[in-house]
Amino acid sequence: MNPSWVVLRFIVLGLAVTLVQVIISGVLPEFIANPNLLLGLVIFLAFHEATPLSAFLVFGLGLIMDLAGGLILGPWAGAYCLVFAAIASVSQRVFIESYASTAFAAFFASLLTSTLVLMLTGVLTTRGWSSLTTLLSEACLTALLAPMVVACARGWLSGGGKLGAKRGTRAFERF
C-alpha cells in the first residue's frame, strides 16, 4: 500500500481516538481523571516507527489534542514530541510486544506530558497538590488503556506498510 495512504489512515485513527477521548471525558464524572488515549498512538509510533515522518505525525497529534482542549496551541504538541523522542531512544532496549512495557511507558509518559503541559500553561502553580492526585489517576487510567490503543493501531495499520520506512531499516522490519 502507498505510504501516503498509511499516513492518511493514521490521521483518521488519531481523529477517531480524539473523538473517543472527548466522549469518555463527557461520560466520566468530574472527580475521575480523563485518560490520555492519544498518548497510546504516540507510544505506538515511538515503539514501531522511529522515523522523522513519525515525529511530524506526533506533532500533529499534539496539535489535535491542543485543539480538542481549547487552550493555546503548542503545549501538547511539544510535550508529545519530547515523549516521542524519549521513548524512541529507549525502544531498542525494551521488549515492545509486551503489554506491561506499553503500560509502563504510558504511565511515565502520561506523568511527563501532563506535568509539562501544566508547567507550560501555568496551571501547576495555581492548583498545587490537587494536581498531583489528578496526574497520578490520569497516569493510571492511561496505563490501563494505552495497550489497547497500541494494539488497535498495530492491527489497523499493519497491512498498510510503514510510514516512509525503507527496506532494511529498523522501522521496516518491525511488523
Identity (one letter) of the amino acid at 77?
Answer: A
Which residues, 6 or more positions from 65, have their beta carbon under 8 angstroms from its beta carbon? Answer: 18, 38, 76, 77, 80
Q: In this predicted model, what pLDDT tens digit does every residue of 34-83 receive, in sequence order?
A: 889 999 999 999 998 888 999 999 999 999 888 887 778 889 999 999 99
Q: Which candidate, 58, 55, 56, places its Cα nearest to that of 41?
A: 58
Domains along the sequence of the chain with CATH: 3-159 (1.10.1760)
The radius of gyration of the chain from alpha carbons, rounded to an integer in Å, stands at 16
Q: Quick one: pLDDT at residue 118?
A: 83
Helices 3-27 and 52-69: angle between axes, nearest 10 degrees: 30
Q: Quick one: pLDDT at residue 124?
A: 54
pLDDT, mean over the chain: 83
Maximum Cα–Cα distance across the chain? 50
Identity (one letter) of the amino acid at 98?
Answer: S
Residue 92: pLDDT band with limits 50, 70, 90: confident
Total-model pTM: 0.82
Q: Quick one: pLDDT at residue 167?
A: 46
| CA atoms in the 13 A half-sphere facing the CB of 163 | 22
